[in-house]
Structure 1
């Protein structure tokens, strides 16, 4: 019976499903229409339609729902898309691995991360990586830990983000592995135009009426500040601006009399450049993991593995004690 099934697979499906048909089908779904997919692939609409029709004939099910508004996958198409994307991804990694064996300085790494990582944590990793692999290519997209669909869809190789399993109520899919690179911490920062810049001792009550730049309520940074002021019986400080932008915060405290909170890793990078410093203010000691997230059961190309090793090497030099914790 097993032999019969194997034979059926080879004759009915295995020898008839072509990779370029799978690629064309995936492009139709991604583009939303056959006409747009044809333009993207540089072929005619009839060629795309024939590729999809061949797949449907081979599998014996309808893969696309076509309408005047475009094309969308059926439930059968969703299954083929998910499995086909994984097959194409493994093939791509195989080609990259062969190329890497021929020239171990080349390859592509696709990274997703939020701005606080791309502005401070990623640059030293990229510098080390390019010193070792000068011909490699690094593609960086904006991705947060709460929005991992690009990783789950295999559009990127890994994510570097703040947080981890069990941190701040974050929901992380079971399909990913999470490894903590290092523990960061939140600090209160100011620039040379602040009258508190050279103070050796500062109480929270002293700066409650200063002009603060904070994140939106509910964000981890804001929660730590709120906890600190509440612990001293104080209301939240005056907020002049709410923003997640690291660049906005560093620029404004460098040129104005604002006070803000920053990850220590960010301040470490920008302190000398913009004459910034951490104020001697006590905040609650809370671990703030910077994690690297990859997809379970997915082969990583050699160049991606080299990038991860560079990330781990850089993490070992961060101010906070590096970790080697992995959660699944």
Structure 2
């Protein structure tokens, strides 16, 4: 098999037709058809089903395409390694991170590493966990820094815990509750709340906490992202629920109230593909993440 023919197969599968693939490859449709035919002849199986308006991979084609992605990724990593050997302080790294970590922890790692190695180029992709895991499997990202989720249990992945995060109730320094030494969540139900956006992890934790406390979920006048809620809380009028990591990294002028939330700590860490060779620059980032995570693991 020729690498060129495998590249043609990958392009055809992504484009969905021979003609579109020929345009993308800047070649002719007969040349594309010839490459596919040679692959099918070599393997003795049909790789593509032909339809009137395009093509789709067969089961044999999908099996080969999975390995093609791995092979070409390893070649790319090999080129990156060679570049690193020539200049160990330069290169690119592609990191996927969910919103909670993209807003605090990942920028802290980028800041430290960019100061030491200013020629490294960082691509930070912020998406939901499902989209990030899909991008990792497709090898569009080097690794993820995310909270542990059921997706991390995939046998094709490694999850390395960096620290475990908890959620807390926070008030502004001028809020009357900030001076209380003992207080329950039920006592705060009638306060003015700025709640996390529906569908977020923090929102689920908030609803479960109020349910476990035996009170109705507050009729909050505000539902917003963490940054906006922080600004509201610091006015001294609002209460909210935050990740303790976010409060630690932002150092906002707020008081964590002595309220116990019925939630277990949430592990956050690095997700990588098993048996995938990471570039030296990606490994530099992971090493820096471990260093920054050590004091966090002790303080939160």
Give the shorter-chain TM-score range: 0.7 to 0.9
The counterpart of 2:166, out of the listed 185, 210, 222, is: 185
Deviation, 1:123, is 0.4
* Per-residue deviation, residues 177-224 of structure 1 (Å, max 9, x unmatched): 1110011111223456x744743444323321223313436x643444
CA contact (8 A) 2:162 2:297 kept: no
Deviation, 1:281, is 2.8
**Partner of residue 153, structure 2:** 172
**Partner of residue 91, structure 2:** 107
SS at 2:158's partner residue? strand
**Partner of residue 293, structure 1:** 271
Matches within 5 A, 1:1-12: none
**Partner of residue 157, structure 1:** 142
Matches within 5 A, 1:164-313: 172-191=153-172, 195-196=175-176, 198-201=178-181, 202-209=183-190, 210-216=192-198, 220-242=201-223, 245-253=225-233, 257-272=237-252, 275-284=253-262, 286-313=264-291
Q: 1-side partners of 2:244 and 2:130: how far apart?
A: 22
Residue correspondences, number: 297
Greater helix fraction, Structure 1 or Structure 2: 2
Do residues 314 (structure 1) and 292 (structure 2) align? yes
**Partner of residue 121, structure 2:** 137
Q: 2-side partners of 1:73 and 1:175: how far apart?
A: 23
Deviation, 1:138, is 1.8
Q: 2-side partners of 1:57 and 1:247: how far apart?
A: 58
CA contact (8 A) 1:208 1:236 kept: yes
Deviation, 1:267, is 1.6
Q: 1-side partners of 2:298 and 2:209: how far apart?
A: 21
Q: 2-side partners of 1:257 and 1:63: how far apart?
A: 64
Gaps of 5+ in 2: none
Gaps of 5+ in 1: 1-16, 323-328
CA contact (8 A) 1:190 1:258 kept: yes
Change (3 A) 1:66 1:229: same
RMSD: 2.8
Q: 1-side partners of 2:209 and 2:171: how far apart?
A: 18
CA contact (8 A) 2:205 2:263 kept: no
Q: 2-side partners of 1:191 and 1:237: how far apart?
A: 18
Normalising to structure 1: TM-score of the pair? 0.79
Change (3 A) 1:88 1:283: same
Change (3 A) 1:52 1:321: farther
**Partner of residue 79, structure 2:** 95
* Per-residue deviation, residues 234-287 of structure 1 (Å, max 9, x unmatched): 2222233556x4344445545684432111121223334xx4443343323621
SS at 1:107's partner residue? strand
